[in-house]
Amino acid sequence: MVEARDPLVEARKQLRRAIDLLGYPDYIYEVLAEPERVIQVKIPVKTSDGVKVFIGWRSQHNSALGPYKGGVRYHPNVTMNEVIALSMWMTWKNSLAGLPYGGGKGGVRVNPKMLTPRELEELSRRYFEAISDFVGVDLDIPAPDVYTDPQVMAWYFDEYSRIKRGIYPGVVTGKPPELGGLKARIVATGYGVAVAVREAARRLLGGLEGKTVAVQGFGNVGYYTAKYLAEMGAKVVAVSDSRGGIYLPEGLDPDEVLAVKRREGSVIHYPKAKKKVSPMEVLELDVDILVPAAIEGVITEENAGRIKARLIAEGANGPTTTEAERILTERGIIVLPDILVNAGGVIMSHIEWVNNRMGGWITDEEALRKLESKMSENVRYVLSYWEKKLEVDKHPVRDAAYMIAVERVVNAMKLRGWI
Ligand code: GLU
């Protein structure tokens, strides 16, 4: 992988651009470039070989539209700036999706693979305890992100309910179905990416049927994106994980690849693969559609010139740098931005949260239908705005997405009398 950039620098560049395009004065940039609050916590965990100390954060970027909302990631390289950038992206994502949420994000600097299940539980409970006065059903609602899952959410929910002496399933989303979560939450981000790609392909590529796809990253988002795109008629020809990638021009079966990954630890052991490639080479394959669904900062000015896909859908948060996007736009390659296409997870989170607060029992089918229509509508709206208000050969779709998202947040701040 390429050296990681500071995601906050990228996030601020994107904000700056939106402010300029909207013709807003500088102070609006100043207000939005910083989060409203960042909480840093120390998390000591007793392990079999002594006490280990971890650092965690919760960044609450903006609450003009509603309670802060966004996931918590566990990763050995998480930094405070990354968490702040991700919380800013959540503000735009939630605004653009039309959800009554502000933006937040959490992170703990830990390699969860090095912890026993009991240590992971301890870490999760202590993290949530440490931030418990700053989260809440109507205040800040965490959810899963990189390396956190429904079990971690169950511990958060339980710990919070214990501390606050009540039962508060709505304080986190992405819970197991037994605790008020939706099974559909697991597939939601990838399903949403696939729906968004289908909608955009209809408009921009003459349909999805038979189009070739490469997916970088085969975690939750990458796998479900590949699975649903294949079901919708696209041909997934390449996928990769952190160990490497595989290429099969006839098209591969994402379920078979997942079985191999589960059994042998990586997609590279898929026996039918014609060619092995590196995770970075996956980005440069000759395909119609590319889905970076792994980590930030993988499409840079260094490799943007070699990308062959016509359409890129950002399954991950922040995979394309500003400079890379400029090169791609010049080359006529369309990037569907993260804040638009990977909002399926948080849209489903909202459905879960509403359901919890009503004490309801929505079915997964109904929830997925709602997600599908919301995502298709959002993609159509953003693409129409882009075509109507901007010169499409000079402006990436992200410009349109940011203008819509930032304007809504600014209007909310004005109405509330903040600015
Ligand atoms: N972590 C996901 C994201 O980055 C989902 C957040 C949520 O469901 O609140 O969008």
For residues 245 and 323, membership in a common domain is answered with yes
Q: Mean per-residue pLDDT for 292-313?
A: 96
- 305, 336, 367 - which closes a domain: 336
pLDDT above 60: residue 1: no
For residues 73 and 203, membership in a common domain is answered with no
pLDDT band at 3 (very low <50, low <70, confident <90, very high): very low
Q: Mean per-residue pLDDT for 107-120?
A: 96
**pLDDT on residue 38:** 98
Amino acid (1-letter code) at residue 133: D
pLDDT band at 350 (very low <50, low <70, confident <90, very high): very high
For residues 164 and 40, membership in a common domain is answered with yes
For residues 113 and 53, membership in a common domain is answered with yes
Measure 272 CA to ligand 1 centroid, in angstroms. Answer: 34
Pocket test for ligand 1, best of 137, 139, 145 (most atoms within 8 A of CB): 145
**pLDDT on residue 295:** 86
Q: Which domain holds residue 66?
A: 35-173
Cα separation values, 145 from 185, 210, 218, Å: 12, 31, 14
Establish if 235 belongs to a structural domain. Answer: yes
Measure 92 CA to ligand 1 centroid, in angstroms. Answer: 12
pLDDT above 70: residue 351: yes
Q: Which residues of 212-224 are buried (b: 16+ CB within 10 A; e: fewer)?
A: bbbbbbbbbbbbb
CA distance 198 to 204: 10
Establish if 386 belongs to a structural domain. Answer: no
The single residue of 69, 93, 105, 175 carrying the catalytic annotation is 105
**pLDDT on residue 304:** 98
Question: Is the distance from the beta carbon of residue 70 to the nearest atom of ligand 1 less than 6 Å?
Answer: yes
Q: Mean per-residue pLDDT for 181-192?
A: 96
Q: Mean per-residue pLDDT for 351-372?
A: 97
Residues, the chain: 419
For residues 39 and 169, membership in a common domain is answered with yes
Tens of pLDDT along 274-300? 899 999 999 999 999 999 999 888 999
Tokens (6 digits) for 78: 């998480």
Question: Is the distance from the beta carbon of residue 107 to the nearest atom of ligand 1 less than 6 Å?
Answer: no
Q: Mean per-residue pLDDT for 347-351?
A: 98
- 287, 309, 336 - which closes a domain: 336
Count the Cβ atoms, other than its own, within 10 Å of residue 28.
19
pLDDT band at 308 (very low <50, low <70, confident <90, very high): very high
For residues 238 and 138, membership in a common domain is answered with no
Tens of pLDDT along 201-258? 999 999 999 999 999 999 999 999 999 999 999 999 999 999 999 999 999 999 999 9
Tokens (6 digits) for 189: 């981000």
Measured from the Cα of 348, ligand 1's closest atom is 8
CATH number for 280: 3.40.50.720
Establish if 131 belongs to a structural domain. Answer: yes
**pLDDT on residue 10:** 87
Instruction: Name the pairing type of β-strands 68-75 and 212-216.
Output: unpaired
Report the candidate in 134, 120, 172, 174 with the shortest Cα–Cα distance to residue 35.
134
For residues 169 and 302, membership in a common domain is answered with no
Q: Mean per-residue pLDDT for 38-46?
A: 97
User: How many domains does the chain divide into?
Assistant: 2
Question: Is the distance from the beta carbon of residue 322 to the nearest atom of ligand 1 less than 6 Å?
Answer: no
Residue 313's DSSP bridge partners are 336
For residues 107 and 208, membership in a common domain is answered with no
Establish if 69 belongs to a structural domain. Answer: yes
pLDDT above 70: residue 151: yes
For residues 325 and 196, membership in a common domain is answered with yes
Q: Mean per-residue pLDDT for 20-35?
A: 98
For residues 111 and 240, membership in a common domain is answered with no
Decide which of 2 and 331 is more confident.
Answer: 331
Question: Is the distance from the beta carbon of residue 345 to the nearest atom of ligand 1 less than 6 Å?
Answer: yes
Contact (CB, 8 A) for 355 and 361: yes
**pLDDT on residue 4:** 55
Measure 169 CA to ligand 1 centroid, in angstroms. Answer: 17
**pLDDT on residue 360:** 94
Measure 144 CA to ligand 1 centroid, in angstroms. Answer: 6
Establish if 414 belongs to a structural domain. Answer: no
Establish if 395 belongs to a structural domain. Answer: no
Tens of pLDDT along 63-76? 999 999 999 999 99
Establish if 411 belongs to a structural domain. Answer: no
For residues 58 and 157, membership in a common domain is answered with yes
**pLDDT on residue 243:** 96
Q: Which of 46-55, 129-138, 170-179, 261-270 has the lowest mean pLDDT?
A: 46-55
For residues 152 and 199, membership in a common domain is answered with no
Measure 245 CA to ligand 1 centroid, in angstroms. Answer: 26
CA distance 292 to 82: 18
* Residue 105 annotated as catalytic: yes
Question: Is the distance from the beta carbon of residue 148 to the nearest atom of ligand 1 less than 6 Å?
Answer: no
Q: Mean per-residue pLDDT for 326-352?
A: 97
Tens of pLDDT along 86-105? 999 999 999 999 999 999 99
**pLDDT on residue 48:** 84
Question: Is the distance from the beta carbon of residue 71 to the nearest atom of ligand 1 less than 6 Å?
Answer: yes
pLDDT band at 6 (very low <50, low <70, confident <90, very high): confident
Establish if 344 belongs to a structural domain. Answer: no
pLDDT above 80: residue 118: yes
**pLDDT on residue 219:** 93
**How does the average pLDDT of the chain come out, rounded?**
96
Question: Is the distance from the beta carbon of residue 172 to the nearest atom of ligand 1 less than 6 Å?
Answer: no
Q: Mean per-residue pLDDT for 362-387?
A: 98
- 118, 151, 173 - which closes a domain: 173
Report the candidate in 68, 99, 155 with the shortest Cα–Cα distance to residue 354.
99
**pLDDT on residue 2:** 42
CATH number for 61: 3.40.50.10860
